[in-house]
Amino acid sequence: MRHDPYEATRLEELSDRLAVLAAARDRDGEFPHEAFAVLESGGYSTRPPVGSGETAQLLRLLAAIGRGDLSTGRVFEGHVNALQLVYRYGTSEQAAAYRAKAREGELFGVWNTDAPDDPLRLEKGHYSGKKNYASGVDGLSQAIVTAPTAAGRQMMLAPLAAASIDRSWWRPLGMRASGSHIIDLTGVTADAEHALGQPDDYIREPWFSGGAIRFAAVHVGGMHAVLDTALAHLTSTGRAADPHQSHRLARMGIAVESGYGWIDRAAEAWGAAESAPDDAGPAKALLAYANAARSAVEANALLVLETAERAVGAAGFNAPHPLERLVRDLRTYLRQPNPDGALRSLGEAMAAGTWHPGSRGRA
């Protein structure tokens, strides 16, 4: 009988294997090569579930990786985002090339944030300028970068071997092993075949904003890890049966289960939008569900963090207690762009009558 690699027990085993490796990479800030060797050996990074109808599997996989190590989850999310963009907007030759590269173990990223004082530009067949928050740069072979053109913002498939990296800037509270450094592509050749899709495809909706469901899934895994650690601590100290601690455990369990429910529902909305690309209704519903999911997951994660901190107490803020790292990582990773805009857009959709709770992926 063939084993399903996305079956719950196997995903829990994956989380456990990644968790063992996380603390060392937090200490040295190096790229999590060992973690990606685990993902490669299981086929998760070489053949990730990024095809049509596979979003539910992908989000559960992202959650499992985040449960093991949020930094690895962040880099893996960029890898699958890159593949989705290539498969959606690339030529058949580009898609085939990147599918083959992934199966050979290569990893990819997506970097949109420009260095404010030297943004990335395309100048006479070469790149010029820098990208900030180049997550995972020390372990990637290529990345999708965006640069302005007269027709709009153009995605480019940039090789990284000749680029220079500034590692002095990345001194974060958490997510150290995600290695979100500054990369300088000045002088690297920008061949015509580097162009991916048409100008502004990168920000084309509903896939741009809808893609927030990927990082929300990693966040769900992160808060699950916080619950795991709090429960293990209370059990080992003989305090889990205390009625006050029981209430804390219950609140955290409800919040984590709610997070899984949100990403499962978001996967349904993504699938509905994929199945009807010319229908505006499912596209609007996906945007609403993505905004709702990321907002709900953030709120639930903050609840889990505070509750776990209270449950474990001061011991959880003292390394090497695992809660100390998990708190830093999750609080850092939760700071995603424009949370207020996501809530505003969701409220506008509700006011306009284009989305309501229980819509099951349709407006």
Is 64 found in the same domain as 120? yes
Whether 2 is covered by a domain: the verdict is no
Quick check: 363 pLDDT over 60? no
Last residue of a domain, one of 167, 196, 225: 196
Which tens digits make up the pLDDT trace of 313-330?
Answer: 999 999 999 999 999 999
Quick check: 195 pLDDT over 50? yes
Name which of 190, 40, 167 is nearest 121 in CA terms. Answer: 190
Whether 201 is covered by a domain: the verdict is no
CATH number at residue 64: 2.40.110.10
CB 149 within 8 A of CB 168: no
Task: Identify the pLDDT of residue 204.
Answer: 97
Is 184 found in the same domain as 330? no
Quick check: 335 pLDDT over 60? yes
Which tens digits make up the pLDDT trace of 277-298?
Answer: 999 999 999 999 999 999 999 9
Whether 358 is covered by a domain: the verdict is no
Name which of 133, 304, 333, 328 is nearest 228 in CA terms. Answer: 304
Is 213 found in the same domain as 185? no
Is 302 found in the same domain as 191? no
Name which of 334, 347, 335, 333 is nearest 291 in CA terms. Answer: 347
Please name the residues in contact with 25: beta carbons below 8 A apart, sequence gap of 6 or more.
31, 32, 34, 35, 69, 71, 176, 177
Whether 296 is covered by a domain: the verdict is yes
Whether 333 is covered by a domain: the verdict is yes
Task: Identify the pLDDT of residue 3.
Answer: 58
Banded model confidence at residue 361, pLDDT cuts 50, 70, 90 = low
Task: Identify the pLDDT of residue 5.
Answer: 74
Which tens digits make up the pLDDT trace of 119-142?
Answer: 999 998 999 999 999 999 999 999
The mean pLDDT value of the chain amounts to 95
Q: For residues 272 and 285, what is the distance between their CA atoms, to the nearest angstrom?
A: 9
Whether 363 is covered by a domain: the verdict is no
Is 313 found in the same domain as 221? yes
CB 270 within 8 A of CB 193: no
Share of the chain above pLDDT 70, in %: 98
Q: For residue 266, what are the domain limits?
A: 207-352
Quick check: 2 pLDDT over 90? no
Banded model confidence at residue 360, pLDDT cuts 50, 70, 90 = low
Is 292 found in the same domain as 343? yes
Last residue of a domain, one of 196, 219, 246: 196
3-class secondary structure per residue, the chain = CCCCCCCHHHHHHHHHHHHHHHHHHHHHCCCCHHHHHHHHHCCCCCCCCCCCCCHHHHHHHHHHHHHHCHHHHHHHHHHHHHHHHHHHHCCHHHHHHHHHHHHCCCCEEEECCECCCCECEEECCEEECEEEEECCHHHCCEEEEEEEECCEEEEEEEECCCCEEECCCCCCCCCHHHCCEEEECCCCECCHHHEECCCCCCCCCCHHHHCHHHHHHHHHHHHHHHHHHHHHHHHHCCCCCCHHHHHHHHHHHHHHHHHHHHHHHHHHHHHHHHHCCCCHHHHHHHHHHHHHHHHHHHHHHHHHHHHHHHHHHHHHHCCCCHHHHHHHHHHHHCCCCCHHHHHHHHHHHHHHCCCCCCCCCCC
CATH number at residue 223: 1.20.140.10
Share of the chain above pLDDT 90, in %: 94
Which tens digits make up the pLDDT trace of 63-108?
Answer: 999 999 999 999 999 999 999 999 999 999 999 999 999 999 999 9
Q: For residues 325 and 139, what is the distance between their CA atoms, to the nearest angstrom?
A: 22
Is 318 found in the same domain as 182? no
- If one counts the domains in the chain, the total is 2
Is 189 found in the same domain as 224? no
Last residue of a domain, one of 174, 196, 218: 196
Name which of 295, 301, 314 is nearest 225 in CA terms. Answer: 301
Banded model confidence at residue 359, pLDDT cuts 50, 70, 90 = confident
Whether 1 is covered by a domain: the verdict is no
Quick check: 27 pLDDT over 50? yes
Is 285 found in the same domain as 218? yes
Is 179 found in the same domain as 298? no
CB 72 within 8 A of CB 112: no
Whether 50 is covered by a domain: the verdict is yes
Is 23 found in the same domain as 145? yes
Is 145 found in the same domain as 236? no
Banded model confidence at residue 273, pLDDT cuts 50, 70, 90 = very high
List the structure tokens of 246. Answer: 């029981």
